[in-house]
């Protein structure tokens, strides 16, 4: 394990190039749950809910890439 964010979790979204929208969506959802903004974890979502969150993250990552990010 290192001190670099993302190096401790094998399915971590931030350790892959380019970023994997599903893993980013999963991480974001878990962060929101940890802060009390979501009621259930990723595994508690329906496949349709997961697909929608992945689509939103894919669009966000695409926007960031078009604006010069290296995600």
Rounded average pLDDT per 10-residue block, the chain, 71 residues: 44 63 90 86 91 93 85 62
pLDDT at 4: 46
Q: Is residue 29 part of a domain?
A: yes
Answer whether 29's CB lies under 8 Å from 53's CB: yes
Count of structural domains within the chain:
1
Is 0.75 surpassed by the pTM of this model? no
Domain span at residue 54 reads 14-66
Give residue 52's pLDDT.
Answer: 93
Query: Does residue 18 lie within any of the structural domains?
Result: yes
Q: Give the distance, in angstroms, between the CA of residue 50 and the centroid of all CA atoms in the same chain.
A: 11
Classify residue 57: in a domain, yes or no: yes
Q: Which of 42-70 are b and which e, b meaning 16 or more Cβ less than 10 Å from the residue's Cβ?
A: beebeeeebeebbeebbebbeeeeeeeee
Residues in the chain: 71
């Amino acid at each position: 394990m290192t001190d670099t964010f993302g190096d401790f979790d094998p399915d971590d979204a931030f350790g892959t190039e380019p970023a994997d929208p599903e893993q980013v969506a999963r991480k974001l959802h878990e962060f929101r749950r940890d802060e009390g903004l979501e009621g259930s974890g990723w595994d508690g979502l329906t496949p349709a809910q997961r697909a929608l969150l992945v689509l939103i993250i894919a669009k966000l990552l695409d926007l960031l890439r078009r604006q010069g990010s290296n995600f």
